[in-house]
Structure 1
């Protein structure tokens, strides 16, 4: 006899749950709601990304980079102030060098004005920075010592390059104080440069990562819209819903345009910071160091008790511009000349480091290489002038060394230094123009797309999806 198994009756609540099936209107409303929610999420994401990237561009282009430029400009102005003070002592009371003396005093005042303006820009960037206040205090002390040096030199009417003991002592105190001030300025430059580097890295990486999130979020929204389109076709036997199709095209276009804009943003940030500003900061620091070295050259002539010290610091600063291992003042010219010949034969062969080596490794823009080579040629000539000055001083022709060293007419050292400085500034200008263009492009890259999408896309998707499904849902009522 067969045994019949009797299944226990299900509880009423479980029977209702097992028999429940979503009907077509419920599916349409759920899928439509998912599309709207994803559109809102995508709009919020675009808003956050746009705000973050624009903030990065603002910090790099309007804050950090100008602050770095201001501190390097301050270093340059202060270095040349001290160089011109030494030149005043070199000219002394010699009637034949009265013009050199007046020119040195005028340049001192010009650099003082530039230093004051640079300090004001730095203070405006961070009014609470105690380092700026400390530099201002120390600079006031320096100017007092410089004024005393000049007055003593005028009173004593000393011969060229041989100031009185009192004037020389004040000059040493002023120069030593300037060393401390310049160290503080270097610290400021390092702090601002670190901020610039960190901001660039964060925003460049953020723009790159945002592209992935944009494709992911936008892709989900496209999938949801396509899913809604497929569902409507399967359940309602309709070939195509024009409103849903338009919403899908709109979202897809937004993702493509947004991805392109973020790629362009990352590229502009790279051009601005890595390609252009890294060269600007290296060359600006090189310019400051060059003026400081030129001051050491004048100090070498004016202070016979510190000649070895000032020759050593001149060589150290020269090697920070063009680093050649174990090079000294006697063999630098020949080794640098050989390295330049190798470089001109093969632009990948940069046989020296330092600021100028860094620039040659970062040649990026049209005309930059030719400008850099002109700068290096002019720098070679200035270095040869330095050896000539030292040779004249060594054989006892101090007056001839001074006249050649501070002379600003063709054939003299300071004239050649000015030619070198002009050539260096020309390379900076090439990179500055590229930096300004890249920041301007980055600032406008997200304009339009970044302004319209956060609100416009959710509203458009909501309206189009609503228009596409409204009549379908009503049919079931």
Structure 2
């Protein structure tokens, strides 16, 4: 036994940092040596000391017992950057940030869209209508003053002096209401200044009109023969109206119309950009969710993470609904502005111009010295309504009848321009075409009555011309004008209802969307947390 113990030499086992074990080798007869050598049966290490530890201490040139493990951890640390927990955290954080960013973007856009609908539907739109109404009411005020002078003290005409004064007062109150409405809605200095100018000039006009009516009352006269002093006073009033009041009212309408157009273009452009951004960010969100699921499936040998799959489905649905909402809002905006309001604006201007032309017809009779001027003004305004190339008062009726007949054969053949040309090229809604055709047929009837009035006046039958001009009975000019005006108002109402409906539909679709959006965002984030948490726990 002693000989055997002396012949066997203990060679320590050495385990390097790579955790590999080197096979032992023979160092002599009966002796094993090398890093993997195990103690022989006759030789034992010191009590409480492992072979490797004793060997290390015995060699005297290696690190301490804890150094090997610390070195191993230090060398392994860089590899942790690609470890599953880090990768999962990165993908989950990307999903969360993208979801929140998309929700913020949509929240801001919904607020912008709602503000735009309010501007177009409840501010700029009504302002344009109110100022157009102001223009026509001013014209009818002056037309009623002309009617007062036209009928004189005669009682057997279509309109009496008292009736003309009643309508004048009604229009005056309407003008006051329209100005107050325009003033309350005015937000820019230019509009406020124009409104102040209208108020100042309106006061001057009303003073001149009041003196005209008073002079006419003090000097009774047959129909159509006011005194020279009364006529001179009326000329001052109507010149002030035509040269200052009406241009200022038209300027208000144009300014509000430009504001509405700018608001529409800005909103439409922004919706287009936001729709692309939502689609891009939403697609990125879905892609990252899919990448996260594929990574988890490959790493953890699972085919499907139901919770993350639910989050992905919700994200796809949310993005699709958001893009659909933006497209729908763009559609409502187009219907409100282009299809409805552009027609409302053209037709409201047509109504104002029609009242101006009707006033020119009365002025033509009340002031024979300026009859040619008022006749040309009537033709100019008729052309503003339905512009026919090279038409005169003699040829307009014939040309218009031919254009209407061509349109009946082919609705794409609109043979006139002007305000009614704008409307007939923008017919969109149910019942609009029929209402528009009725309006033009009644305009045609009114125009034919106007030619009869002028023929009577030039043939020396001035009394008959005045009776026809002032008559509200069927066959009278005022009756024809009222029929035309009623059909024009009905045509405006078709477009106004469509405009109001489009604005209401747009606002209704936006209502509650912000709350639903953030609920969806919270659900996706919750599903994300539930979906990745079990995988992260496995690495604790």
Pairwise TM-score range, normalised by the shorter structure: over 0.9
Confirm or deny that 1:395 pairs with 2:455.
no
Q: How does 1:129-148 map to 2 (within 5 A)?
A: 129-148=192-211
* Structure possessing the higher radius of gyration over alpha carbons: 2
Distance of aligned partners of 1:300 and 1:98 in 2 relative to their CA distance in 1, 3 Å threshold:
closer
Confirm or deny that 1:333 pairs with 2:400.
no
CA distance in 2, matches of 1:60, 1:96: 49
CA distance in 2, matches of 1:395, 1:71: 40
CA drift of 1:19 comes to 5.3
Given that 1:258 and 1:449 are in contact with CA atoms closer than 8 Å, whether structure 2 keeps it comes out as: no
| Aligned CA-pair RMSD | 1.6
Partner of 1:430: 494
Higher-helix-fraction structure: 1
1:164-213 CA distance string (max 9 Å, x none): 11111110011011111000111111111011111111212222332211
Distance of aligned partners of 1:59 and 1:181 in 2 relative to their CA distance in 1, 3 Å threshold:
same
CA drift of 1:18 comes to 6.5
Q: How does 1:104-123 map to 2 (within 5 A)?
A: 104-123=164-183
Q: Indicate the SS of the match to 2:271.
A: helix
CA distance in 1, matches of 2:321, 2:254: 38
Please, which runs of 5 or more residues in structure 2 have no aligned partner?
1-73
Which structure has more RCO (C-alpha within 8 Å, separation ≥ 6)?
A: 1
Q: Indicate the SS of the match to 2:222.
A: coil
Partner of 1:79: 139
1:53 to 113, 123, 126: 113
Distance of aligned partners of 1:99 and 1:389 in 2 relative to their CA distance in 1, 3 Å threshold:
closer
Confirm or deny that 1:379 pairs with 2:439.
no
Stretch deviating more after TM superposition (59-68 or 233-242): 233-242
1:211-235 CA distance string (max 9 Å, x none): 2111111111111111111111111
Given that 2:124 and 2:256 are in contact with CA atoms closer than 8 Å, whether structure 1 keeps it comes out as: yes
Aligned residue pairs, count? 464
Q: Indicate the SS of the match to 1:410.
A: coil
CA drift of 1:424 comes to 0.7
Confirm or deny that 1:36 pairs with 2:96.
yes
CA distance in 2, matches of 1:92, 1:136: 30
Confirm or deny that 1:466 pairs with 2:516.
no
CA distance in 2, matches of 1:451, 1:125: 31
Q: How does 1:204-283 map to 2 (within 5 A)?
A: 204-283=268-347
1:246-297 CA distance string (max 9 Å, x none): 1111111111111111111111111111001111110110000000000000
CA drift of 1:97 comes to 4.0
Given that 1:72 and 1:285 are in contact with CA atoms closer than 8 Å, whether structure 2 keeps it comes out as: yes
**Where does structure 1 differ by over 6 angstroms across 4 or more consecutive aligned residues?**
14-18
Please, which runs of 5 or more residues in structure 1 have no aligned partner?
1-13
Given that 1:39 and 1:457 are in contact with CA atoms closer than 8 Å, whether structure 2 keeps it comes out as: no
CA drift of 1:449 comes to 2.7
CA drift of 1:100 comes to 2.1
2:212 to 140, 149, 162: 149
CA drift of 1:95 comes to 3.6
Q: Indicate the SS of the match to 2:82.
A: coil
CA distance in 1, matches of 2:159, 2:366: 18
TM-score by structure 1 length? 0.95
Partner of 1:475: 538
Partner of 2:420: 356
CA distance in 1, matches of 2:508, 2:524: 26
Given that 1:410 and 1:416 are in contact with CA atoms closer than 8 Å, whether structure 2 keeps it comes out as: yes
Given that 2:154 and 2:160 are in contact with CA atoms closer than 8 Å, whether structure 1 keeps it comes out as: no
Partner of 1:125: 185
Confirm or deny that 1:188 pairs with 2:252.
yes
TM-score by structure 2 length? 0.84
CA drift of 1:456 comes to 2.3
CA distance in 2, matches of 1:16, 1:137: 88
Partner of 2:83: 23
